[in-house]
Amino acid sequence: MPHRLLTLALPCALALAACERQPEPPPPAPAASSSAPVLTRQSIDSAGFEAAPASGSQARSAGLARAQVLLDRARFSPGVVDGLGGENTRQAILAFQEANELNATGELDQATFDRLVSGDGQPALTDHTLTAEDLAGPFVDAIPEDMEGKAELETLAYTSPQEALAERFHMDQDFLTELNPNARFVAGETITVAAVSPQELPEAVARIEIDKADKSLRAFAENGDLLAYYPASIGSAEMPSLSGEMTVRAVAPHPNYTYDPSRLTNAEGDETLIIQPGPNNPVGAVWIDLSKDTYGIHGTPEPSEIGKTFSSGCVRLTNWNARQLANSVEPGVEVVFL
């Protein structure tokens, strides 16, 4: 049976300013090809091995989309399922290859694809029938860019049912829309989504290793078995992440965020602000507090940027990976920075 977490309450205003996102300028995206095929449920579920798209390609690959879902279910998270790949998918493939004694290149090859499929013969996509709860919100029209604007909101909720559903099923929002081109997103309607891993790991986490060079987090069981691999944003040159050993102190679902400009190198203004909870909060949907004040493992409002941006010392995961980890840890779990 999955391990159940006993959550400890944290003070209302968490001092989390050390975790403000530090952007790394992305390269300009190439124009999408008008001849790129539109992926369908049938093309993905029946896909065989395909070479990964060229770096920077905007053409989705059915075979890669299937492989991403299978990696997610094997708990080697590629981050966002989008059929495009990228560094997070490459790192997940590399970790899977190493764990399965395959040729460890980080590239999706026939042997790796075959191992993924042989270990999990279930379809990559599934049906989800929309409920009134899926569509009830609360939703906000938009998330302000500046901290003062964020502080004025009563909740940092999702901006639409589509954003909420994409995150629930670990998907890029555009990919969700592409798979459901005629969807109206109304109650009772059935849509196609990725059939991803559950919200809990199969065993309790006894040890967490954070690899700063690899930009990853690994969770281990008591017997040393690898339970999960997640891509992560970890520290920056100006504010490097922690080193050495510490422990989990507490877990806080739906945390608020204290924006303290005195702790930041690229601060906006000089006023301390409280940002209310919500999945689009700067620290996302969950906070795993570490035994060094103001540092933790947490979610993000921008899952596609994991591994592509820096943090101010904390460890940032996608909201779904942070939730999965938080649901399987307790205070006292060892955390080691490598």
Question: CA-to-CA distance for 72 and 76, rounded, in angstroms?
Answer: 5
Tell me how far CA of residue 88 lies from CA of 18, 59, 200, 235, in angstroms. 24, 17, 21, 17
- Spatial separation of the C-alpha atoms in residues 197 and 204, rounded to whole Å: 16
Say if residues 196 and 69 touch (Cβ distance below 8 Å): yes
Domain boundaries, the chain: 17-25+199-337
pLDDT digit of tens for each residue in the chain (338 aa)?
444 333 333 433 444 444 655 444 444 444 344 445 678 999 999 999 987 666 666 789 999 999 999 999 999 999 999 999 899 999 999 999 999 999 999 999 999 999 999 999 899 999 999 999 999 989 999 999 999 999 999 999 999 999 999 999 999 999 999 999 999 999 999 999 999 999 999 999 999 999 988 899 999 999 999 999 999 998 655 556 678 899 999 999 999 998 887 766 666 677 889 999 999 999 999 999 999 888 899 999 999 999 776 555 689 999 999 999 999 999 999 999 98
Count the neighbouring beta carbons within 10 Å of the beta carbon of residue 68.
34
Angstrom distances, CA of residue 3 to CA of 199, 283, 299: 11, 24, 21
- The H or E element containing residue 334 is strand 334-337
- Token pair for 191: 């849509």
Rounded to whole angstroms, how far apart are CA atoms 190 and 79? 25
138 upstream amide cis, omega within 30 of 0:
yes
Supply 129's token pair: 């029938």
- pTM equals 0.87
CA 95 to CA 73: how far, in whole Å? 14
- According to CATH, the superfamily of the domain at 17-25+199-337 is L,D-transpeptidase catalytic domain-like (2.40.440.10)
Q: Is the dihedral of CA 119, 46, 171, 7 positive or negative?
A: negative
**Which of 31, 89, 95 shows the shortest CA–CA distance to 65?**
89
Q: How far apart are CA 322 and CA 288, in angstroms?
A: 8
